[in-house]
Amino acid sequence: QVQLVESGGGLVQAGGSLRLSCAASGPTFGSNAMGWFRQSPGKEREFVAAISPSGFTAVYADSSKGRFTISRDNAKKMVYLQMNSLKPGDTGDYYCAAGATIVKIRTGYLEVWGQGTLVTVSA
C-alpha cells in the first residue's frame, strides 16, 4: 500500500500562490490515481483535484478550475498541487489521497490518505 506525506502548506495573502507536495512510498504509486481534498472548519470535506495514474488526465472542482493545477512525477513518486490566485475560502487542511481511478477518487472511494498540510489564506 502506498504511504503519503504532504508538505508545502503555509500562510499567504489573498492572490498569492503555494505549491503543495505529496511524497509517496511503496511500489503501487504508479498504479494509483491521486487526488487532493481539503477540509475547512465548519465545512464538509471538499474535492479539489485528481490525476490519473499516468498523469495524462486531470479533473478539478469548479472552485479550482483555472487557479489550481495538479501534476505528478512518477519517477520521483511525487504529486503536486500548484495553487494560484488564492482566496480566503481556500483556507483549510489539504490532504493527498490515493485511489484506483479518478472516478473512484472523485466519488470518495479512497485507499490511502496523507496527514494533511495547512493552508491559510489571509485577506
Q: Which letter does DSSP use for residue 106 in this model?
A: H
The fraction of the chain above a pLDDT of 70, given in percent, is 100
Going by DSSP bridges, is the β-strand pair 10-13/117-122 parallel, antiparallel, or unpaired? parallel
Phi, psi for residue 5 in degrees, rounded to 5: -135, 120
Q: For residues 29-48, give the mean pLDDT.
A: 93
Q: What cell was used for 103?
A: 472516478
Which amino acid appears at position 108 of this protein?
G
The answer, yes or no, to whether residue 1 has pLDDT greater than 80, is no
Chain-centre distance of CA 111, in angstroms? 14
Q: How big is the chain by its Cα radius of gyration, in Å?
A: 13
Residue 110 has a pLDDT of 80
Residue 64 has a pLDDT of 93
